[in-house]
Structure 1
Amino acid sequence: MLAILAITAPIFLLIGIGYGARWSGIISREQLQGVGVFVLYCALPALVIRALTQQPLEEIFRLNYLIAYGLGSIVVFSAGLFLCLRLQRQPLNASAMHALGMAAANSGFVGYPVAAMVIGSPAAVLLALNMLIENLLIIPATLILAEMGNQHGSSLWQTVRQTVLSLAKNPVLIGLSVGILIALTGLTVPGPIDQVINMLAEAAGPAALFVIGGSLFGLHVKGMVRDVGQIVVGKLILHPLAILVAFLLIPNIDPVYFAGALLFAAAPMISIYPLFGQRYGLGGVSATAMLVATVASFFTLSLIIWWMTLAGLLTM
């Protein structure tokens, strides 16, 4: 257990440092947003580009992994949508947001730093694969359903078009496209540019954790026990369980990729979840859910690492 805490403790200490920096006034909300912009627009795209250009493309894009992770995420998203929409009779936009919180992990800001410490360099490859699922499947489905629920007079086609245009500006997907282009064409990245990419990629993990910690400052848990509770349980327990079952059903997946998928799935929800929630009238619930899930993930991630060690997926 001490070996496991040696992995998880530094990660959550960095989150704590971010929280402490905001609490003490060392860094303002606007300055923290600037660090977040750096991570999202510079560090994470560089990390994805490096991951896609360090080894042959056919060794990175493993269809069985994409099918397994996508299947597990879709099952959880659908279950969350059914629970809220059909059983609890919540509006479509609220149901879609609840489902998003359960099925889309914070791959860039939490999942990658944790996986990198546990499984090493394959974590960057998994980041690229998981972001394909999240940015091309789960998030678009959420936005389309939520916009349909708002019923602003836009047709389904207009909603889909707006979502696609928005995704086309996503910096991580742009980095993904650049990385694939370089890998397919066999272009050699000039030395100075390659060094810059490496430097930015190395900054992604620590800076992302710092931003998560600072973002948690000022959030309060009050009067939202049922909604927050089911989102957090769905994200930290049901999502990893669904990924576990999906990976057991799909054959010939590298055990390292299997372990990494569980770590990514066990991360809290995506960092922009509160922003989406605020857009659809669920700012308080989504922000509180992210706070609770981030704190609770210290324990759930430690338990998952411990279980994977006992099961032989990891060697400590």
Structure 2
Amino acid sequence: MSALIDVILPVFLVLGFGYVVSWRGLFSDAAVDGLMRFAQNFAVPVLLARSIAMLDLSTSYDAGLMISFYAGALTSFAIGITAARVIFRRTGPDAVAIGFCCLFSNSLLLGIPITERAYGPDALAGNFAIISIHSPLLYTIGIVAMEAVRSAGTGAGLSRVGFNALMGVLRTPLVIGILCGFAIQILRKTTGQDLPGPVWAAMNMMANAALPAALFGLGGVLFRYRPEGDGRAIVMVSALSLIVHPGIAYLLGHWVFALDTAALRSAVITAAMAPGVNAYLFANMYGAARRVAASSVLVATAASILTIWAWLAILP
């Protein structure tokens, strides 16, 4: 019970505060959009740049950690697409959008604060290692899969589709923040020079604002997503995101790769997060399975309060 009260509840209280004030009309849709734009386009990229710049690359990028997390993500993606197509009889684009909901966990806005509250700021190295390739890799996979389905029978080359997907991903603020973090890391290691103190201080100020602003804004965004659509598909997305993905990460991390405690925690807790708002944005971008995506984000986020509690109890 202490994990629920001390670790999970504060994070969801901030998120819930944003939900309630939006529901009561005390925070307008325009204000929510502005806050999320600040968080996602500026504050969170600075947080990623600062965190990755400080990573010990020789120890953080553990192959077992990465395989444990991403094997679970890709398995959930494949199951989600197959079930949506075969069981729920959805179109190809709808199936990819639903699969993307199973693939893209909210590793940053929920995974980081919950891991930090549970295990402390020193436990986040594995989280940031996963996040450093999370958006670039998964968006590329999702976009290539969607474009391949949409271009089936048209003769469009998959290599061209992949190139366009990569260019689109490289222009996103989160990925730019990640690349800046690696650039700072390389600068420090190759030249022995560091950024000036005032620059680090400014980055710290922006980074400290990132997660509270993003969580509050996320509550306002979730208020817009009324639970509607195919109930069975929503349940499937929630189960794959909250149980199957972290379950695979735990089995591989514990029994196959024998990860140390910190790495196992990072892999499983990051995998146990509900689909992020990016899952809905992806569906909305292609006009595919938008109601299922929006409802899955909301329902799975609410359900994750209990499933995260269970995973925290299972982990060492």
Would the TM-score normalized by the shorter structure come out above 0.5?
yes
Counterpart contact for 2:254–2:264, Cα < 8 Å: no
Distance 1:209 1:298, change over 3 A: same
Give the corresponding residue for 1:304. 311
Distance 1:250 1:28, change over 3 A: same
The alignment's TM-score, normalised by the length of structure 2, stands at 0.91
Alpha-carbon deviations, 1:261-314, whole Å to 9, x = none?
Answer: 211111111212112212232111111111101111111111211222xxxx1x
**Separation (CA, whole Å) in 2 of partners of 1:194 and 1:227:** 45
Query: What letter matches 1:134 in structure 2?
Result: H
**Separation (CA, whole Å) in 1 of partners of 2:280 and 2:109:** 15
Select between 46-55 and 187-196 the one with higher mean Cα deviation. 46-55
CA shift for structure 1 position 55:
4.5
Counterpart contact for 1:56–1:183, Cα < 8 Å: no
Give the corresponding residue for 1:172. 174
Alpha-carbon deviations, 1:143-170, whole Å to 9, x = none?
Answer: 1111222238443223212211111112
Pairing 1:16-27 to 2, within 5 Å after superposition: 16-27=16-27
Give the corresponding residue for 1:222. 228
Give the corresponding residue for 2:64. 64
Distance 1:225 1:56, change over 3 A: closer
Alpha-carbon deviations, 1:229-255, whole Å to 9, x = none?
Answer: 111111111111111122124425221
**Separation (CA, whole Å) in 2 of partners of 1:283 and 1:6:** 34
Give the corresponding residue for 1:283. 290
Alpha-carbon deviations, 1:160-197, whole Å to 9, x = none?
Answer: 12211111112222122111122123130111110111
Q: Secondary structure at the match of 1:49?
A: helix
Pairing 1:77-226 to 2, within 5 Å after superposition: 77-122=77-122, 124-151=124-151, 153=154, 154-186=156-188, 187-226=193-232
**Separation (CA, whole Å) in 2 of partners of 1:267 and 1:136:** 18
List gaps (5 residues or longer) in structure 2.
none
CA shift for structure 1 position 26:
2.1
Q: Report how many residues are paired.
A: 309
**Separation (CA, whole Å) in 1 of partners of 2:98 and 2:51:** 31
Query: What letter matches 2:94 in structure 1?
Result: A
**Separation (CA, whole Å) in 2 of partners of 1:21 and 1:233:** 29
List gaps (5 residues or longer) in structure 1.
none
Counterpart contact for 1:221–1:288, Cα < 8 Å: yes
**Separation (CA, whole Å) in 1 of partners of 2:242 and 2:3:** 22
Select between 275-284 and 52-61 the one with higher mean Cα deviation. 52-61
**Separation (CA, whole Å) in 2 of partners of 1:133 and 1:185:** 20
**Separation (CA, whole Å) in 1 of partners of 2:125 and 2:35:** 23
Distance 1:222 1:85, change over 3 A: closer
Query: What letter matches 2:38 in structure 1?
Result: F
Q: Secondary structure at the match of 2:40?
A: helix
**Separation (CA, whole Å) in 2 of partners of 1:148 and 1:107:** 26
Q: Secondary structure at the match of 2:276?
A: coil
Alpha-carbon deviations, 1:61-89, whole Å to 9, x = none?
Answer: 22321222122212222222222234444
Counterpart contact for 1:268–1:290, Cα < 8 Å: yes
**Separation (CA, whole Å) in 2 of partners of 1:101 and 1:223:** 14
Q: Secondary structure at the match of 1:25?
A: coil
The alignment's TM-score, normalised by the length of structure 1, stands at 0.91
Percent identity of paired positions between Structure 1 and Structure 2: 25
Counterpart contact for 1:22–1:217, Cα < 8 Å: yes
